Structure 1
Amino acid sequence: MEHVSTSTLIITLVVMILVSAYFSGSETGMMTLNRYKLRHRAKNGHRGARRVEKLLRRPDLLISLVLIGNNLVNILASALATIVGMRLYGDAGVAIATGVLTFAVLIFAEVLPKTFAALYPEKVAYPSSVLLGPLKIIMMPLVWLMNTITHLLMRMVGIKTDSAMSAALSKEELRTIVYESRSLISRRNQDMLLSVLDLEKVNVDDIMVPRNEVVGININDEWKSIARQLSHSPHGRIVLYRDSLDDAVGMLRVREAWRMMTEKKEFTKENLLRAADEIYYVPEGTPLNVQLVKFQRNKKKVGLVVDEYGDIKGLVTIEDILEEIVGDFTTSMSPSLAEEVMPQNDGSVLIEGSANVREINKAFNWHLPEEEARTINGMLLEVLEEIPQAGTRVHINHYDIDILDVQDNMVKQIKITPQKSIKESVGR
């Protein structure tokens, strides 16, 4: 090195720091890239994305390549800095060169390039892949050797090296991605995506029409009564039964009945039963995502929910499941949530006893118990284990509940006042 001028050594040292910055920035840029955006761009033919995706198929080899290059350059820079320091300042130049080089490497070869790469990974990773690809081929023997030694050492201490990390997202991780995409996805579409993810948490018991609200026709009634019920039915399908809903005999399409009514010769009880579809039964507790698939496979739109003893608990339709995803349809005959709740100026909320507990929790971000009961009335009866009187106050999960009206052994209206601590925790 004696015949090499000091200025040449300084220039070479600066080049080494720049090369070190390239390796540092490339490593951070490659590892910070959004893998799903990268995959999308690669599928659309982006050349840079394709090069990077190829390199990231074996991240262990890529890291080895970058670290080998970075360490070789830094060691060479350290040797050159020592020579330059001794030429300029003698023995004291070693300490001076060490301090100056450490500062320069930290700022210009580590912090600055890595910060820029973390902020703009695509601007760093795509261009750097042009050089890293051929460099990986050239240095493959050394990279392979280093990787083999590393794996052997890891196995010696009991670390498995053959278990690859899955790139698949869990549902909670996917939920987080949807939440963080508010600037790119409309609120309505975001709610729909989250509702799809929640389908497995909701079962048919939560959305079914309760048994006492199921509309049906007793086939043993007088013929005029049957015809009148069919003429005034607001539903597309209606249950036919004999005396009791437990003796359901068919599911009649009202449109088919109207067609038969225009052909008076065919409009008889026997023909009604013949035109009715076979009852499709749904076991209680079936998750909505499972039931949606079953409706599709069996080409059914309506089912009667039954318990373990075969007793009918209610009725569920494919429209009920779709409403869980897209929201209430305008054709729904059931009262909407807006009709069942009335927020007050003091922070309390007046709620009808027939309101769905899960919908209330979802709308107000509350945590009322919804495991054992579907409606507000059912929740209160489950907690109190008796029919309460009007004026009773109940405290459930940090909520003060005042029972305002009780009729026909049912809670008709309540007032819920969340405690301040709950409001503040939700706001945070």
Structure 2
Amino acid sequence: MMSLNRYRLRHLANNGHKGALRAIKLLDRPDRLIGLILIGNNLVNILASAIATIVGIRLFGDIGVAIATGALTLVVLVFAEVTPKTVAALHPERIAFPSSVLLKMLLVVLWPLVKVVNLITSTILHIMGIRSVKEDDALSQEELRTVVHEAGALIPRRHQEMLLSIMDLEKVTVEDIMIPRSELYAININDDFKSINRQVIQSPHTRVLLYRDTIDDAVGFVHLRDALRLQSKGQFSKSSLLRAVKELYFVPEGTPLNVQLANFQRNKERIGLVVDEYGDIQGLVTLEDILEEIVGDFTTSMVTTPSEDINKQPDGSYLIDATINIRDLNKEMGWHFPIDGPKTLNGLIIEYLEDIPEPNTSMRIFGYPIEIVEVGENMIKTVRVMPQHYKLPKVGKN
């Protein structure tokens, strides 16, 4: 009874399984169940001991007590304890469901005795300062994660990864997955109209951000479908483009992904601008970005393909675009750079050095030998990450 899987038991009970329903009712009061089983168990054992002692004395005299004790101990251990309890532990449902019929009947018959025993027991526990509290068998997030990991063939590996990704959503914020401000594809509405027209046609995205002179003065998003429709009608102009923009939707930085996913659904939005506490735009996050955290990249096959930001070299090192997101780098390479600080490799190195390094500077960060390859525009552009066993040269910063 105690070895039954509580979650499978509830599933069977919800499907109307009579044995499961009986077992759940008995397990709702484990004190009564344990009291009933132990009363029956001890009655049988004591009775067997008394009978064996009488038979042993009559057959063998005084030495019969020792013979009866040894024989009965062996019989009880093998046939009444180890063997049946091992079978019951290996096949709990097969034993518990039929047994629940007998236990239910015995509980009715022996109810007064069970009540007295439980009353005495609870009184003793109260005197000892032990309170009877029903244990909450709800799983914590980490316990649920372990269940998913150990599900094995019951849950396909791909589904396991998706379930674990869903549980990780609350640990990831919009800054971790957003397109940073410096990489936004946006159109300055104050540019020459020919330039605007060219940027609209060449846009790699279906929605394009319009702004006036600076990203912080954002106007709104325009859907390329609307822009191309205006072009086909010969009505494409700055004023018509501004009339076609959609209202901006802002997302506070630090918002967990599970919260933002619910916000997107509630507000019927698919794209938002991430802003800091001062209202400055930090980047852009989309519904697709959040879904990709769960199911993987929509634009690639299920087979992991190398990122364009990571290029393996003949010597085993990797040339990496330093603007790469650290979470993406860890996920793709199986590395363990910290993700609770800067979001990019460039930011992590600058925070570590507390300075913008010169090219050819070498260091070891969190166990990974790194060489600065290219620096420009007040940021690190390219780095070389060596295999962890690589020995850094003695030149450069260490």
Same fold (TM > 0.5)? yes
Where do residues 356-375 of structure 1 align in structure 2 (5 Å cutoff)? 356-375=325-344
Alpha-carbon distance between aligned partners in 1 of 2:210 and 2:183, rounded to the nearest angstrom: 14
The reply to whether residue 108 of structure 1 matches residue 79 of structure 2 is yes
- The corresponding residue for 1:272 is 241
Letter of the structure 2 residue corresponding to residue 35 of structure 1: R
Report which stretch shifted further, 163-172 or 44-53: 44-53
Deviation at 1:364, TM superposition (A): 4.2
Conserved in 1, the CA contact under 8 Å of 2:172 and 2:256?
A: yes
- The corresponding residue for 2:262 is 293
Alpha-carbon distance between aligned partners in 2 of 1:269 and 1:347, rounded to the nearest angstrom: 52
Report which stretch shifted further, 318-327 or 348-357: 348-357
- The list of structure 1 runs, each at least 4 consecutive aligned residues, that deviate by more than 4 angstroms after superposition, is 342-350
Deviation at 1:388, TM superposition (A): 2.2
- The corresponding residue for 2:347 is 378
The reply to whether residue 126 of structure 1 matches residue 97 of structure 2 is yes
Letter of the structure 1 residue corresponding to residue 82 of structure 2: V
- The corresponding residue for 1:252 is 222
- The corresponding residue for 1:319 is 288
- The corresponding residue for 1:6 is none
Conserved in 2, the CA contact under 8 Å of 1:353 and 1:414?
A: no
Alpha-carbon distance change, 186 to 350 in structure 1, aligned in 2, over 3 angstroms: farther
Conserved in 1, the CA contact under 8 Å of 2:3 and 2:92?
A: yes
SS of aligned partner of 1:54: helix
Alpha-carbon distance change, 419 to 136 in structure 1, aligned in 2, over 3 angstroms: farther
Q: 127, 133, 137: which is aligned to 1:167?
A: 137
Alpha-carbon distance change, 404 to 112 in structure 1, aligned in 2, over 3 angstroms: farther
Where structure 2 has 5 or more consecutive residues not aligned to the other structure, the ranges are 391-398
Q: 388, 392, 399: which is aligned to 2:357?
A: 388
Deviation at 1:259, TM superposition (A): 1.7
Q: 194, 204, 226: which is aligned to 2:196?
A: 226
Conserved in 1, the CA contact under 8 Å of 2:359 and 2:374?
A: yes
Deviation at 1:313, TM superposition (A): 0.6
Deviation at 1:396, TM superposition (A): 2.2
Letter of the structure 1 residue corresponding to residue 189 of structure 2: I
Letter of the structure 2 residue corresponding to residue 272 of structure 1: L
Alpha-carbon distance change, 97 to 412 in structure 1, aligned in 2, over 3 angstroms: same
Deviation at 1:35, TM superposition (A): 0.9
Alpha-carbon distance change, 336 to 128 in structure 1, aligned in 2, over 3 angstroms: same
Conserved in 1, the CA contact under 8 Å of 2:319 and 2:382?
A: no
Alpha-carbon distance change, 177 to 347 in structure 1, aligned in 2, over 3 angstroms: farther
Letter of the structure 2 residue corresponding to residue 295 of structure 1: F
Conserved in 1, the CA contact under 8 Å of 2:211 and 2:217?
A: yes
Deviation at 1:248, TM superposition (A): 0.6
Where structure 1 has 5 or more consecutive residues not aligned to the other structure, the ranges are 1-29, 421-428
Deviation at 1:407, TM superposition (A): 4.4
Letter of the structure 1 residue corresponding to residue 244 of structure 2: A
Alpha-carbon distance between aligned partners in 1 of 2:118 and 2:316, rounded to the nearest angstrom: 63
Deviation at 1:367, TM superposition (A): 2.3
The reply to whether residue 204 of structure 1 matches residue 210 of structure 2 is no
Deviation at 1:361, TM superposition (A): 2.4
- The corresponding residue for 1:27 is none
Alpha-carbon distance change, 358 to 82 in structure 1, aligned in 2, over 3 angstroms: same
- The corresponding residue for 2:394 is none
Deviation at 1:182, TM superposition (A): 2.0
The reply to whether residue 305 of structure 1 matches residue 305 of structure 2 is no
- Tell me the number of residue pairs that the alignment of Structure 1 and Structure 2 aligns: 387
Deviation at 1:348, TM superposition (A): 5.2
- The corresponding residue for 1:156 is 127
Letter of the structure 2 residue corresponding to residue 214 of structure 1: L
> 1:229-254 CA deviation, whole Å, 9 max, x = no partner?
11221212111111000001112122
- The corresponding residue for 1:21 is none
Q: Percent identity?
A: 58
> 1:348-403 CA deviation, whole Å, 9 max, x = no partner?
55433233211232344432121111122221111112222333222222332233
> 1:252-284 CA deviation, whole Å, 9 max, x = no partner?
12212222222223x332232222111111111
TM-score of the aligned structures, taking structure 2 as reference length: 0.91
> 1:34-62 CA deviation, whole Å, 9 max, x = no partner?
11111112222222222212221222211
SS of aligned partner of 2:50: helix
Letter of the structure 2 residue corresponding to residue 402 of structure 1: E
SS of aligned partner of 1:285: coil
Conserved in 1, the CA contact under 8 Å of 2:174 and 2:253?
A: yes
Letter of the structure 2 residue corresponding to residue 356 of structure 1: N
The reply to whether residue 341 of structure 1 matches residue 299 of structure 2 is no
Conserved in 2, the CA contact under 8 Å of 1:372 and 1:382?
A: no
Letter of the structure 1 residue corresponding to residue 273 of structure 2: L
Alpha-carbon distance between aligned partners in 2 of 1:177 and 1:349, rounded to the nearest angstrom: 36
Alpha-carbon distance change, 277 to 244 in structure 1, aligned in 2, over 3 angstroms: same
Letter of the structure 1 residue corresponding to residue 150 of structure 2: E
Deviation at 1:343, TM superposition (A): 5.5
Conserved in 1, the CA contact under 8 Å of 2:317 and 2:384?
A: no
Deviation at 1:114, TM superposition (A): 1.5
The reply to whether residue 70 of structure 1 matches residue 44 of structure 2 is no
SS of aligned partner of 2:370: strand
- The corresponding residue for 1:38 is 9
The reply to whether residue 217 of structure 1 matches residue 187 of structure 2 is yes
Measured on the aligned residues, the alpha-carbon RMSD in Å equals 2.2
Report which stretch shifted further, 282-291 or 409-418: 409-418
Alpha-carbon distance change, 88 to 400 in structure 1, aligned in 2, over 3 angstroms: farther
